[in-house]
Amino acid sequence: MSDYSDHQVECIVKLGGRAITHKERHETANTEAIQSAGALFCDTGIGKFIAVHGAGSFGHFEAKKYGVATGYRNSDGLTSPVKQVQMGLCKTRLSVTKLNHLLVSEFVQQGIPAVGMSPFNSYITNSKDSFKHADLDVLSQSLDEGYLPVLHGDAVLDQATGCSILGGDPLIEKLCCHFKPKRVVFLTDVNGVYDRPPDQQGANHIPQITVNQDGHIATILATSMSDHDVTGGIMGKIDCACRIVKHSKGRTKVFIGKLESTYSKDLVRNGMSKPEMMTEICYQ
């Protein structure tokens, strides 16, 4: 694979689960937000784009209930009833693929050649945090043929634990290593990152987060996440963004912004927005 001077993809867009669903209400999609997401990819020209969406209220409840993220075995043997966790994986996948179908259906209705792709078919993890196998041939060919691949966080097989959760954020990190995009844009339900949960009094917007060469950030953040979130919440997203910036040495630009906003399309198309309306993760 060539270096970052030859970007394979224009932009990878993460559609946050909290933005496209009502996260506290089981399997409840945010229809207006999904329509807004489709508009991002209309008439994008010749550039190659990849969409990855979170699960939101689809899948997280099932994964939490059945312990899918931790699997059913470790080096000492079985840790949970196999059948129970296996059924949890199946129910989790039924739920997240429902949401994927909703997004792809809306995109196609808007005239976008979108194709849904499930990581279960292409990825095997090893102790959750590393990859044993990743097959990107179909994804690469789909991009070459002019399709918009729409991937999602998924329950996948794991060599060490039997199964695990592959969240959308670590999936994007893996895609960045292969496709070396010009930009990664994380779209959520707020204008980027705040120094504390944005619904708290006194929350201040942070227009820029600087990543040191060792991957650390100086900004102090106090974050929150839902009880049923099995993928790390906003802090997991920030950590992922920092690793992308560090690995690319800043050659992949990373932004966090709001999906349902007047500037989200410009952010996806050319990385342009007002500083007060998004957060840029920068490399020092």
pLDDT (tens digit, 9 = 90+) per residue, 169-205?
999 999 999 999 999 999 999 999 988 888 888 889 9
202 is a domain residue: yes
pLDDT value for 229: 45
182 is a domain residue: yes
3 is a domain residue: no
218 is a domain residue: yes
pLDDT value for 231: 44
**Cβ neighbours, 10 Å, residue 221:** 15
Residue bearing tokens 């100086």: 218
pLDDT value for 27: 97
2 is a domain residue: no
35 is a domain residue: yes
Q: Are residues 167 and 232 in contact, defined by beta-carbon separation less than 8 angstroms?
A: yes
Residue 32's domain comprises 11-283
149 is a domain residue: yes
- How many domains does the structure of the chain reveal? 1
- pLDDT tens for 239-274 read 899 999 999 999 999 999 999 999 999 999 998 888
pLDDT value for 21: 97
What CATH number is associated with residue 174? 3.40.1160.10
CA dist., res. 234 & res. 281, Å (int): 14
206 residue type, one letter: I
Angle between helices 31-40 and 82-109 (to 10 degrees): 60
The pTM of this model reads 0.91
pLDDT value for 198: 86
Residue 264, classed as helix, strand or coil, is: helix
1 is a domain residue: no
In the predicted model, residues of the chain with pLDDT beneath 70 are 1-7, 129, 218-233
pLDDT value for 218: 65
CA dist., res. 157 & res. 132, Å (int): 10
- Beta strands 73-74; 193-194: pairing state: unpaired
